[in-house]
Amino acid sequence: MTMRKSDHKRKLGGRTLLTAALVLSFGLTAPVHFADAQERYQRRSILDFFLGRRAVEEEYPPAPDVQRPRPQKKRTAPPKAAAAPKAVAPVPDEDVVQKQENAQKILIVGDFLASGLGDGMTEAFKTSPGVVIDARGNVSSGLVRDDYYDWPEQLLKMMDEVKPAIVVVMIGANDRQQMAINGTKEKFRTDAWYAEYQKRVLNFGKEVTSRKIPLLWVGLPAFDSDSMTADAVQMNQLFRKQIESAGGEFVDIWDGFVNEGGEFIVTGSDINGQQVRLRTSDGINLTQAGRRKVAFYVEKPARRILGTQASPDLVRLDTSNLPSLGLPEPNAPHTQPISLSDPNLDGGSELLGAKAPPVSLTKSPRDILVQDGMVEQAPAGRVDDYRLPAAKEPKQVSAK
The pLDDT confidence band at residue 380, using thresholds 50, 70 and 90, is confident
pLDDT score recorded for residue 26: 46
pLDDT score recorded for residue 36: 47
> Is the pLDDT score of 121 beyond 80?
yes
Name the pTM for this structure.
0.58
Domains of the chain: residue spans and CATH: 14-25+35-58 (no CATH), 104-310 (3.40.50.1110)
The pLDDT confidence band at residue 391, using thresholds 50, 70 and 90, is low
pLDDT score recorded for residue 368: 78
pLDDT digits (tens, 9 = 90+) for 155-206: 999 999 999 999 999 999 999 999 999 889 999 999 999 999 999 999 999 9
How many Å separate Cα 177 from the centre of its chain? 41
Judged by average pLDDT, the poorest of 6-15, 156-165, 240-249 is 6-15
CB count within 10 Å of CB 253 equals 21
pLDDT score recorded for residue 388: 72
Residue of 253 and 329 predicted with greater confidence:
253
> Is the pLDDT score of 53 beyond 80?
no
> Is the pLDDT score of 342 beyond 70?
no
Distance CA 261, CA 282 (A): 21
